[in-house]
Amino acid sequence: MPRKIPAGNWKMNGLQSTLSELKTLEDKHGDADIAILICPPFTLISACEDTPFDIGGQDCHTAESGAHTGDISAEMLADAGASYVLVGHSERRTDHGETDALIAAKAQAAYNAGLIAVICIGETLQEREAGKTLDVIDTQLAGSVPDKADAQNTVIAYEPVWAIGTGKVPTTAQIADVHAHIRRRLQDRFTDGAEFTLLYGGSVKGSNAADIFAVPNVDGALVGGASLTAADFSPIIVALESA
């Protein structure tokens, strides 16, 4: 069965003082039966190592090392205490022009370093309105997911770009359609495609989490702003534990 994962992406937020939120979260969910993933900024990864949560980086370079000023390698993330890394987040695709091929290379670098790659895919509002959602998903899955992916080293996160941080959320029927399509494509390509964890990301919060987690093939969430405080993230974790 796919693992249940509530994943918090702090993005470019968080200072040493923010770590008190993790202590509060630990008091509430330190013995949770599901794997809670926190992806803080690179500067806080080592400081999070003593928590009971899984820790992930928000990006990595394709190379192990070298003259790449300002970048960080998957090996460095692992050395700092991370066990996961996000690749292909829509903000990286948009802000940095990342291609499917580059994202696949980053995922492979994650595998090489022993990290689990959370590969993000999703359509823009323009693509959704043009009826191209599933075509975009097919292209991104084919180009961003390496051939060496499996259910143990890869998580797929569907994040409709138009729903990230906007408060807009697809209907449960729309989420169900896309997640079912992703599952079919993974099963077509990989022998363990039925076991991949599929996360939904896009304005997930405590008030809508239970409805989203009731959707077939939704195994967790990739949460942005609502993961920054224990008060906001805890209800999402509770909803997933109950799903």
* Confidence grade of residue 165 (pLDDT, cut at 50, 70, 90): confident
Query: How much of the chain is helix, strand and coil, in % rounded to 5?
Result: 45, 15, 40
The CATH number assigned to the domain holding 19 equals: 3.20.20.70
Residue 164 pLDDT class (50, 70, 90 cuts) = confident
Does residue 87 sit in helix, strand or coil? strand
* Number of compact structural domains in the chain: 1
Domain that holds residue 45: 5-242
Among candidate residues 186, 209, 189, 210, the one with its CA nearest the CA of residue 197: 186
Q: Which pLDDT value is given to residue 241?
A: 96
Residues 29-80 pLDDT 10s: 999 999 999 999 999 999 998 899 999 999 999 999 999 999 999 999 999 9
Given a cut of 90, is residue 169 above it in pLDDT?
no
- Enzyme catalytic residues: 89, 159
d(CA 243, CA 211): 9
Tens-place pLDDT, residues 192-228 = 999 999 999 988 999 999 999 999 999 999 999 999 9
pTM beyond 0.95, yes or no: yes
How much is the pLDDT for 110?
98
Does position 1 have pLDDT exceeding 90, yes or no? Answer: no
Per-residue confidence (pLDDT) for residue 167, from 0 to 100: 82
What is the rounded distance in angstroms from the CA atom of residue 206 to the CA atom of residue 231?
9
pLDDT tens sequence across 100-148 = 999 999 999 999 999 999 999 999 999 999 999 999 999 999 999 999 9
d(CA 40, CA 228) in angstroms, rounded, equals: 9
Q: What is the pLDDT of residue 166?
A: 82
